[in-house]
Amino acid sequence: MGEEWRKGWHPETIRPRTTDKPVLIVGAGPAGMEAAQALGKRGYDVMLAEAGKELGGRVTLEARMPGLAAWRRVRDHRELQIRKLPNVEVFFDSRLDADHILALGIPRIVMATGSTWRRDGVGHVHTRLIAIDEAMEVLSATDMLAGRLPAGKRVLVWDDDHYYMGGVVAERLADEGYETIYVTPASEASTWTRNTLEQHFIQKRMLEKGIAIRTFLALERIETGRAVLKCVFTGRETLIEVDAVVLVTARLPEDGLAFDLKAREIEWADAGIEAVTVIGDALAPATIAHATYAGRRFAEELDAPPVAEDTIPFRREITELMGVSGAG
């Protein structure tokens, strides 16, 4: 993230704990796993509760998509670190609610419950719900990550995210034999990946897999058996007959449990709860790097004196250039 060195964090060592109060982390995605292993190395007793049957959260799901298998390293490294720590306990199939957490009586609660992709069309182009016929099959990127596939064979992917997800969803559909139409309001597929130098490779793979890429078009509404597209320049509408639509637009934080606990804050003292902190995608959906940074930041700052963000606006490393004697 470029913040670690500025803040004086070391990649392999971390200061010891200053209290013996245990921590409960809800959610074992990249934020939860990073917080758990870093807190464990500090010496805190940590309970890591995961609703599913494996660690990794979004990393595990996304690594199953075309071209993203190497991303498992984000999970695998942290899983190895956690297994080495006897003071970090992992609990699978543990979908907690507010009653469970209040009954546990653990002082520090960390909500790392992640996020989910929207299925209502809201994203960059549309800031309000779009019209969707209930008779039409509409899936979200979350559905695709969970392994759900459309029933029909002609599918439109609406990419209003512009990063990698729209492209890999289209590739997955093409790999499964679907006639895939990828639609974006941008000038090219996954246009934000120009910043990561990947766009050329992404579009090349999509074209090689026979995916039809339609640019400068916005998904206006979804009707039975068809999607209505609109030119971003002229507003002229185009109809495309499809069996299903997959929406890749924006994500919503999974913060329902955090709000449930907040609503019962009056009960915290009796339950022994001192603080509930929301981190990672559950606070603000972003990249995997942001999520892991959020986990490390919580672990670093727990029981530390508060530091205002503007007290370390930047930090520069000054390299001394040493002259060579006799050089001309």
How confident is the model at residue 315, as a pLDDT? Answer: 63
Query: pLDDT tens across 304-314, in order?
Result: 876 665 565 56
Buried b (16+ CB within 10 A) or exposed e, 17-44: beeebbbbbbbbbbbbbbbbbbbbbbbb
Q: Where are the domains of the chain?
A: 23-114+254-311, 118-250
Q: How much is the pLDDT for 42?
A: 97
For residue 260, count other CB atoms closer than 10 A to its CB.
14
* pLDDT the model gives residue 10: 86
- Quick one: what percent of the chain has pLDDT higher than 90? 88
Bigger pLDDT: 9 vs 58 = 58
Q: Which CATH number fits domain 23-114+254-311: 3.20.20.220, 3.40.50.2000, 3.40.50.2300, 3.40.50.720?
A: 3.40.50.720
Q: What is the pTM of this model?
A: 0.91
Please give the full DSSP string across 207-266, using - where no structure is assigned.
HHTTPEEE-SEEEEEEETTEEEEEETTT--EEEEE-SEEEEE--EEE--HHHHHHHHTGG
- pLDDT of 285-298, one tens digit each? 999 999 999 999 99
| Of 52 and 324, the one with more pLDDT | 52
Tell me, what's the pLDDT at 169?
98
Q: Quick: pLDDT tens for 69-106.
A: 999 999 999 999 999 999 999 999 999 999 999 999 99
Q: Answer yes or no: is pLDDT of 224 > 50.
A: yes
The pLDDT-based confidence of 317 (bands split at 50, 70, 90) is low
Q: What is the DSSP letter of 123?
A: S
Coil, strand, or helix at residue 156?
Answer: strand
What distances in angstroms separate CA 95 from CA 29, 39, 77, 176, 204, one per listed residue?
Answer: 14, 22, 24, 32, 41
pLDDT tops 80 at residue 1: no
Coil, strand or helix: which one is 42? Answer: helix
CATH topology of domain 118-250: FAD/NAD(P)-binding domain (3.50.50)
Q: What percent of the chain has pLDDT over 70?
A: 92
In this prediction, residue 277 carries a pLDDT of: 98
